[in-house]
A and B are shown apart, each in its own frame.
Chain A
Amino acid sequence: MLKLEEIKTDAFNDWCPGCGDFGILVALQQALVELDVPREKIAVFSGIGCSGKTPHFLNVYGIHTLHGRSLPIAAGAKLANKDLTVIAVGGDGDGYGIGAGHFVATGRRNLDLTYVVFNNAVYGLTKGQSSPTLAKGLRTKSMPAAAIVEAVNPIALAICAGYTFVARSYALNVKHLKSTILAAIRHPGTALVDVLQPCPTYNDIHTKEYWAGEDGPEKRPRWYDLQQEGFDAVVHQPEDADEVLRKKSAGVMKALESGEREAVGVFFQWKTATYGEQLAQRMPLLAEKPLADADLSGRDLTPLLAELA
């Protein structure tokens, strides 16, 4: 088994003190240690923004991509080498804004990969503009005016787009986050983990204290664990279309609930054929070994030329 130190790098970390990213990084490191697969079989892809630097702090293959584009690049690597554990990470602007098209298409495809979104409702690295998850009417401290557009609901969107594992966690609840990430990685299919997190520099609304509920009379956290309240997100009969529909609907309803507290935990989980499994039906070679390990060159063109004779 790997040691925690072995999964870390010495790359300099320039995140702000108190950033929620640290919680996510620690949870990721712990999850990868516990996952117990060889480090070289893990590849972490990231988008742009503070969260984009995450791969540099993980001692596995680390690919820092473009703004909003981690998912297609990650998908390409997974198609090339089915034995890789592929994880994409990025911010909410990256995934639900500029990369929204890829976000939806990735869910539809259901390749076996995991997407962890650092959701702090602001664009941090460009100094605090509103992100797609900032609720309408809110104004964080560096915004010239309040948001007048609706926020996107990533959980509901993911379920509708076809993600087969959809969960949410909180950056500073490292234990819950680690186990959620681990479950997401182990899920065969595309998994989303939306992570609520404070941006101590630019989001003066959703602070650490806000999430801890320190401003309220009961000092009760502003999140609660779905599973602790008995929510069953799992499709138990994967072939049962009715159950799939019921579980999807329940997950979407849960995601759309508005109230004092945000639900964390698993909203929807369904084990169904992945993209890779379906492709292997057409190309048996794919079931045998990673495409990148197969020698595909020098194939005999005679039958194709005969078609054209």
Chain B
Amino acid sequence: MSNQSDLVWMIGGPQGSGINLAAETFVRCCMRGGLHVFANIEYHSNIKGEHSYYRLRIAKERRRSHLERVDLLVALDRETLIGDVHKAEATHRGHLHEVAPGGGILFDSDDGPKPGDPTREDVRLFPIPFREILLEALRMYGREGEVGKLQIMYNVIGLGASIGVLGYDQELVGRVIAEGFKGRKAALADLNVAVFRRAAEYAGEKYGASFPHRLSVLGGSSGRVMMRGIQAVGMAKFLAGCGLQTYYPITPATDESDFLESRQGQYPIAVVQTEDEIAAVLMATGAAHAGLRASTSTSGPGFSLMAEGLGWAGITEAPGPVVLLYQRGGPATGLPTRTEQADIRFALHAAHGEFPRIVVAPGDAEECFRTTFEAFNWADRYQCPVVVVTDKFTASSYATIPPFSTQGMKVDRGAFFAPPKSGADGFLRYKFTKNGISPRSRIGDRGGIFWTSGDEHNERGHIVESADNRVKMQTKRMTKLVTAAKEIPEEMKWTLHGPADAEMMIVGWGSTKGAILDAIEELAEQGVAASFLQLRLLCPFPADAVRKVLRKAKTHVIVEGNYAAQVCGLIREMTGVNIRRKVLKFDGRPFSQDEVREGILQQRKSARRPAVMSHA
């Protein structure tokens, strides 16, 4: 694989300027042309005005992460070039410095660099008269009077100019743009396509011939889909038969609940916006006790409020809920729209006391799909909460992937009680069993009446404080984790990518998967052989297997998106293996392939101190 042949396109502008639409349209156009894309977005906790940007890495083969260089930058405003220098404390430096030598910058000639602004001699500047292009297109429809209002179409001009400069298939892009305007918006389709066309023609004629980067259709539709983490999770919930989703609005988790609710007519699911996350987790737990697969989705601040409820779900052995934890920068509100991997220890320990829980960390959209689906099976089978830990980066990044296969994905509702024919009472909801699992009834089942309590209880569910019962009941509950550890297939627990006897073993979990996989391929080209041990099931932790795998390599490097190397500590606790080489990042931005590569090389030389990456 050669990164040099990849094309990195970026569009930046103030929030509210429609960079999402432009970027996602571009992703679709590349995908339709048989190309692969990995796309990720960065934005502020702000409604309008602050800087946001979207980055597309376009390649002939699958890519799983982003690169730091930019080959073609679209700047919808000056800030995109030079940063928010108007503020007392700038939050970013703009993207001028990220453009690779020989790259290009498309910008609005009315809002471009000012005299005295930093500039670059080694990149091409492509001023585009956004306003004139818009006016020309509007004139065709006699709507030039609306030029002010329709400035929202500058994003389409940015996309169009890019397509022109890169020489990509304008017919294809026009079709994709038109598709995006359906229903009430259908009348806008032609206008948008006209604006796109005008921009593409202008930029193509003026700059296309001299720009070395070209983008062409690979031929044939790829049959792929563009998938984000939240969509993968949502589809898994539909497939698993989740009937209730509760949530309290929070970035970046809410998108998933919106996705579910917007498809409610087609895929029946009750989606309830609750008063807080305390209610969210408990409402889902109540529904689980009544036999409905239920879930809630949140981020760190909401998960903090859910701690109490997790404990109640644990002691009452509810079959769920499935909790999606989309990590973001913490603590408190932290960095609300940025990514981090710093909640994993909290997910493992949240709530007081001891109770069984399953904690699992998928590494990308495909794993989000399969893991979330299995999470419902585990919740039912082991009658405990299941926390699926992912993050803002996975939630919002697009990758072009083959459509999900559902082969081998089977629903397992766990052990149910056998209702007595007479309908007589006496059901033991918390019957002591060898594997810890007591067959359950659902609230409402005839012959299945039970009691339950957040207080310690006996087999019937009535409150009992006896020492003897406590020991038996706590042991029964915790035994379920032993059972789960035995039954959950190894391939759901961890994955070793590459040869175990490679010089170095990179260890990671969650969303660093993509950057690590891409980086070790690049390292291999440079003669550095590395494998990647990806941990997925973090509770119950597959200690023996992980210890065995780790022992196959001499040198280990942990890569984590947090300050404290949380999972590094967990590995040491569980296996006794102390990984001293650490590549860490906690600036709220995702690891790029470049950062992982550099960090690994740095740690290969010296493990004296962790490599803390922040190329943002």
Contact = CB atoms under 8 A, between A and B. Distances in A.
Nearest to B234: A304
A305 B403 contact: yes
Interface in B359-407: 403-404, 406
Nearest to B242: A296
Contacts of A65: 282, 312, 454
A40 B275 contact: no
Given A56-B463, A64-B451, A80-B243, A292 B442 contact: yes
- Among A64, A72, A81: residue with most chain B CB under 10 A: A72
- Among A56, A292, A298, A305: residue with most chain B CB under 10 A: A292
Interface string A37-63: 011110101001000010110011111
A77 B283 CA distance: 7
Contacts of A69: 278-279, 282, 308-309, 312
Nearest to A69: B282
Nearest to B244: A79
Given A56-B451, A63-B289, A296-B242, A102 B275 contact: yes
Contacts of A101: 275-276, 278-279
A61 B270 contact: no
Given A79-B292, A80-B244, A66 B309 contact: yes
Interface in A140-195: none
- Among B226, B244, B272: residue with most chain A CB under 10 A: B272
B235 interface: yes
Nearest to B270: A79
B444 A43 contact: yes
Interface stretch (B40-48, B260-268, B430-438, B502-510): B260-268
Interface string A241-264: 000000000000000000000000
Interface string B243-286: 11010000000000000000111111110101110111011111
A73 B225 contact: no
B450 A279 contact: no
A107 B401 CA distance: 45
Interface stretch (A26-34, A89-97, A210-218, A280-288): A280-288
Contacts of A308: 225-227, 231
A282 B269 CA distance: 10
B224 interface: yes
B454 A299 contact: no
Given A80-B287, A80-B292, A101-B278, 10 more contacts: A40-B444, A59-B425, A73-B286, A75-B283, A291-B292, A294-B268, A296-B238, A296-B243, A297-B411, A298-B239
Contacts of A74: 286
Contacts of B174: none
Contacts of B282: 65-66, 69, 72-73, 76
Interface residues of B, number: 70
Interface residues of A, number: 58
A80 B286 contact: yes
Interface in B407-465: 411, 425, 442-455, 461-463
Contacts of B223: 309
Contacts of A296: 238, 241-243, 267-269, 293
Contact of B444 (A11, A63, A292, A303): A292
Interface of A: 9, 11, 38-41, 43, 45, 48, 53, 55-56, 59-66, 69, 71-77, 79-81, 83-84, 101-102, 104-105, 279, 282-283, 285-286, 290-299, 301, 303-305, 308-309
A103 B483 CA distance: 39
B276 to A, nearest CB: 6
A282 B225 contact: no
Contacts of B455: 64
A282 B264 contact: yes
Nearest to B413: A297
A66 B449 contact: no
Contacts of A77: 286-287, 289-290, 443
A11 B449 CA distance: 14
A81 B292 CA distance: 8
B94 interface: no
Contact of A66 (B265, B275, B294, B312): B312
Contacts of A105: 274-275, 279
B561 interface: no
Contacts of A298: 239, 241, 411
B164 interface: no
Given A63-B452, A66-B308, A283 B283 contact: no
Nearest to B236: A301
